[in-house]
A and B are shown apart, each in its own frame.
Chain A
Amino acid sequence: MSTGAKPVRPSTPPAGVAGHWLERLFGELWLESHAADYGLPQLEFLRILAEVGAKYLPAEAAPGDATALYRSLRVEELALARACAAGHERAWEVFLGRFREKLFDAGRAIARDEATGRELADSLYADLYGTELRDGERRSKLLFYMGRGSLEGWLRTVLAQEYINRYRSHKKLVSLEEEGEEGVQFAATAREEPIAVDPRLEAAVDAALAALPAEDRYVLASYFLDQRTLAEVARTLGVHESTISRKLGKLTAQLRKHVLDALVKRGMSRRQAEEALAADVRDLQVNIRARLAQDSAAAPFSEKER
């Protein structure tokens, strides 16, 4: 997995996947992409494919993996995005015809506000066009699109990132007057009361969590830490919310069982282990009551004090 901070521009084909089959494959993808319609030369398109391969394929990638990766690319949208980044007029017309309204819709959906959503989408348009100059060259954000997912989905993701960044920057710039008006100026810092926890319990919980598959941990974190609804979690995984509901029920029971087993292994009796967990649950209940009392205005990024 790559950091994705900057677009990678390797000048050589991806290592380990060179050969005539790759040329044939690139030729097919070139035809599929209709890149010629946007005035994108074949050589330039092949260079873009090589760039994608260098970014996502490990050096020792097998030809099968490389083929699977290249075949999974949205080459038509990749060509469109790169042609737009290169300033091709017709590509922009197609782009606007296809995504303009969708982008505004996405902006509204993310910001949950008409004006903010439009502002968000407008600012992204500026970035997509490339107002920023680097080395005297206009740099479009579309250069970062690699065709792994749909262009529409990518635009939504970029909008979401932009929204979060803006929210944070606005949050940092809240004036003292505003804070005073909101009545939080002199609010006491909410501090978690330190709980004396048996280190064996911590270790057991860590071990139980680590033993879970990544998807299960993601579900637990989304539901319990981010306070997402079942439907929201389900949508991100592309499953029905009842599946998430069942999974959560199973996971919590499984987690408890694993923690108990781990505590017993670490020298506790069964009864001691259950008491340790029960004490923890009592703390949790008290804590929930306290949180409900003070959380009159839910912060969207409650768990992200960074």
Chain B
Amino acid sequence: MVDVSKLARARMAQAPVAGPHPDADLLTAFRERSLAAGEREQVLAHLATCADCREIVALASPDQTEEVEALAPGTAKPRGLPWPVLRWGAVATAVAVVAVAVIIEAPKRTAENAAARQAAAAGNEDKAFASAGKKVAQPSSATEQPASSDSRARADAAPKQAEVAKLEASRKEEQEKKQNGARDEDRALASAAAAPPSVQFRQDRAAEADRSTAGKATAGGAGANAQFAGRTTGLAKAKDDKNSVVLAEAPREAQAPAKPAPTPAPEVSAEGYTMARSAPAAAPARAKTSSGSLSAYGPGYAGEAAASSAPVTMDAMHAQLKPATLRWTVTSDGRVQRSPDGRVWTDVPVAKHVKFRALVANGNEVWAGGARGALYYSANAGGSWRPQPVAEVNGDIIRLNVSGQMLIISTSSGQTIEISHEVFGDQPAKPPSSR
């Protein structure tokens, strides 16, 4: 830092104090930047020459780290990693994940692209299919890219040439079925238990891209047969619907020998199908375990999952905030604020025209009370709030506490009201005990 000259310091120190000392109100308003421009200039001119007032202003300036925190009762003061560490940690993790994904996926994609190019060159879908099958069956082909996982897949697929022939036969059978119009929903559902992937694939032609991914996902967890099927499905991606339908039969083909006792490959699909029909709420967990392969559970599931995951609501985002790391406070002018790290505080919009005086948090649950008995409740760490009218409250709510399952409300009129947590449902809260 460049220093000013000693003389300048001396002259500043010797300068006469400008004007009378501002009172505590003006110094406070100056600190809070609520003075008019003219007044602020006057106060600053005085402060520039008065060490006493500068001392007062400096001492009275609140340190942000000393903000009063309304933490969840019974929880220790959260002292996690500082925000910069978390931020860079997240970036590093993301980069590592992407790098791993690229390392794993790149050889597969290269091989698939090469096969697809070759299939396209053949000009005929059957030829393309046959060519692809041959490619898979003959790993030493010059057009194949050398890649460890791919060569392993090819090695696994080599003994499956007979199955390719079976596939072709089943394709023809499928085409016949198509021509006969045998595609009613009940039949599809009935056959789904036996061969869910093929049913799923047949049900929604529009999700072809997802289907190929689904095929890969199924194959990835199902050993050599499924891997082969997934690979052929991937090859078909470059082709038209017919091919995709035909190749979609691959999992069923792979599953066929194990019909009485399901093999691991169809288990995944069958389970996914069941989930899609009976428990769509479990979708997020499934989606996390197999990223990018939601449609592996069939169009029904994919559709529902897409519908449930498409709108990323604020509620969902707030729910993701870790309540243990959140700090809450009520400002002196009645605003509710929240901070993830105790440094940066942001206003949380609760209700207009209500001045809040008390706040308590218990995990994701937050209660804010204020003027005229106003009580608001959030179940998702402040993401959304709803009023909770409490009967027989007189005056302002000035203190809130959580004790066990009870919310304890203290009011300015001296009331102490205890409310069970459970009543924070749809109905207005009634005080079970008031003293």
Chain A contact residues, CB within 8 Å of chain B: 1-5, 34, 37, 56, 65, 68-69, 72, 74, 76-77, 90, 93-94, 97-98, 101-102, 105-106, 109-110, 144-154, 156-161, 163-164, 195, 197, 201-202, 205-206, 208-209, 214-215, 217-218, 220-222, 224-226, 228, 232, 235-236, 238, 245, 248-249, 251-253, 255-256, 259, 277, 280-281, 283-284, 287, 301, 303-304, 306
Contact = CB atoms under 8 A, between A and B. Distances in A.
B36 A147 contact: no
Contacts of A77: 332
Interface string B36-59: 100101111111110110111111
Nearest to B2: A252
Point out which of A69, A153, A238 has the most chain B C-beta atoms below 10 A from its C-beta. Answer: A153
Given A3-B20, A97-B398, A304-B51, A283 B6 contact: yes
Contact of B44 (A69, A157, A214): A214
B333 interface: yes
A105 B62 CA distance: 10
Interface residues of B, number: 69
A289 B74 CA distance: 52
B28 A148 contact: yes
Given A1-B43, A232-B61, A93 B398 contact: yes
B116 interface: no
B57 to A, nearest CB: 5
B7 A214 contact: no
A3 B27 CA distance: 12
Nearest to A233: B58
Contacts of A232: 58, 61
Contact of A304 (B15, B26, B29, B55): B55
A4 B22 CA distance: 7
Contacts of A222: 54, 58
A94 B412 contact: yes
Contact of B56 (A74, A147, A157, A228): A157
B4 A1 contact: no
Interface in B345-396: 355, 357-358, 371, 395-396
B23 interface: yes
Contacts of B412: 37, 90, 93-94, 97
B209 interface: no
Contacts of A2: 20, 23, 26
A281 B5 contact: yes
Contacts of B39: 1, 56
Contact of B4 (A148, A197, A220): A220
A280 B59 contact: no
A105 B332 CA distance: 14
Decide if the interface of chain A is mainly helix, strand, loop or mixed. Answer: helix
B186 interface: no
A148 B1 contact: no
A68 B36 contact: yes
Given A202-B7, A281-B5, A149 B32 contact: yes
B11 to A, nearest CB: 5
B399 interface: yes
A16 B21 CA distance: 26
A103 B276 CA distance: 58
B2 A249 contact: yes
Given A93-B398, A209-B8, 7 more contacts: A93-B412, A93-B414, A153-B28, A222-B54, A249-B1, A253-B2, A280-B6
Interface string B3-17: 111111101110100
B31 interface: yes
5 contacts: A217-B45, A238-B31, A252-B4, A253-B2, A283-B6
B55 A301 contact: yes
A150 B332 contact: yes
B24 A158 contact: yes
A150 B60 contact: no
A252 B3 contact: yes
A164 B59 CA distance: 9
B100 to A, nearest CB: 38
B219 to A, nearest CB: 55
